[in-house]
Amino acid sequence: MRLILTDLPSDKRYHFYPLALCRPIWDLRCGMTSLSDKLIAKTQASDIACFVPPYMAEVYGATSTWPVNDATALAGDDLLVVNARVKASDFSVEPTGPSQIAVDADGECLYARIAKEDLARLNTDSIDALLESAKATLSAAEGEVAVWNYTWDLVLANPGQLTEDFAALGQSGVEGTVEEPKALRGSENEVFVARGALVHPMVVIDAAEGPVYIDEDAEIHPFTRIEGPAYIGKKSILLGAKCREGNSIGPVCRVGGEVEESIIQGYSNKYHDGFLGHAYVGEWVNLGALTTNSDLKNDYSSVEVVLDGRRPIDTGSTKVGSLIGDHTKTSIGTLLNTGAYVGAMVAVTTTGSLLPKYLPSFGWFIKGVVTKGFGKGKLYETAKTAMGRRKLEWTPAMEEMWNEIHKITAPERSEAVKKGRRALAAT
Amino acid sequence: MATIEERVVAVTARVLKLETSEIKPEHIFTTDLGAESVQSVELVAMFEEEFGIEMDEDAALSVENVGDAIKFITEVCQAQGVEA
Share of chain A above pLDDT 70, in %: 100
d(CA A54, CA A24): 11
Residues facing residue A359 across a β-bridge: A342
In chain A, residues with a C-beta closer than 8 Å to the C-beta of B57 are 372-375
The tens digit of pLDDT for each residue in A371-405 reads: 999 999 999 999 999 999 999 999 999 999 999 99
Query: Using an 8 Å Cβ cutoff, are A371 and B41 in contact?
Result: yes
The residues pairing with A366 across neighbouring beta strands, listed in sequence order, are A369
Region at A307 (left for phi over 0; alpha for psi -120 to 50; beta for the rest): alpha
How big is the CA angle at A66 (ends A268 and A217), to the nearest 5 degrees?
35
Residue A275 binned pLDDT confidence (cut-offs 50, 70, 90):
very high
DSSP state of B53: -
Give bridge partners of residue A214 from the DSSP assignment: A193, A232
Top residue of A362, A371, A379 to mutate, by most chain B CBs within 10 Å, is A371
Q: Shortest Cα distance from B24 to chain A (angstroms)?
A: 23
**Residue B84 confidence (pLDDT) above 90:** no
Q: How confident is the model over B9-49, as pLDDT tens digits? A: 999 999 999 999 999 999 999 999 999 989 999 999 999 99
Give the separation between CA A334 and CA A352, rounded to whole angstroms: 7
CA A282 to chain centre: 6
> What ipTM was reported for this prediction?
0.90
Quick: pLDDT tens for A121-141: 999 999 999 999 999 999 999
Residue B61, strand partner residues: none
Among candidate residues A108, A112, A89, the one with its CA nearest the CA of residue A13:
A108
Nearest residue in chain A measured CA to CA from B58: A375
Residues of chain B found within 8 Å of residue A379, distances taken between Cβ atoms: none
Percent of chain A whose pLDDT exceeds 90:
97
Q: Which residue has the higher pLDDT, A353 or A403?
A: A403
**Cβ separation of B61 and A375 shorter than 8 Å?**
yes
Q: Which residues of B touch A421 (CB under 8 A)?
A: 45-46, 48-49
Helix (H) or strand (E) holding B38: helix B37-51
Q: CA B37, B39, B44, B45 torsion: positive or negative?
A: positive
Backbone angles phi, psi at A286, to 5 degrees: -125, 120
pLDDT, residue A58, reads 98
- Indicate yes or no: CB of A424 within 8 angstroms of CB of B45: yes
Contacts of A424 in chain B (CB under 8 A): 42, 45-46, 49
Bridge partners for A264 per DSSP: A249, A281
Mean pLDDT across chain A, nearest whole number?
A: 97
CA distance A381 to A399: 10
pLDDT, residue B46, reads 96
Contacts of A373 in chain B (CB under 8 A): 41, 57
- A338 vs A358: CA distance, rounded Å: 11
Question: A421–B48: do the CB atoms touch at under 8 Å?
Answer: yes
Amino acid at A314: D
Q: What is the pLDDT of residue A177?
A: 98
Q: Stretch A205-219: mean pLDDT, rounded?
A: 98
- Each residue of A335-346: pLDDT tens digit? 999 999 999 999
pLDDT at A427: 83
Q: How far is B33 from chain A (nearest CA, A)?
A: 19
CB contact under 8 A, B57 and A421: no
CB contact under 8 A, A372 and B46: no
Q: Do A373 and B46 touch (CB under 8 A)?
A: no
CB contact under 8 A, A374 and B57: yes
Verify whether the Cβ–Cβ distance A373 to B48 is below 8 Å.
no
State how far residue A54 is from chain B, nearest Cα, in angstroms.
Answer: 27
CA of A53, closest CA in chain B: separation in Å?
28
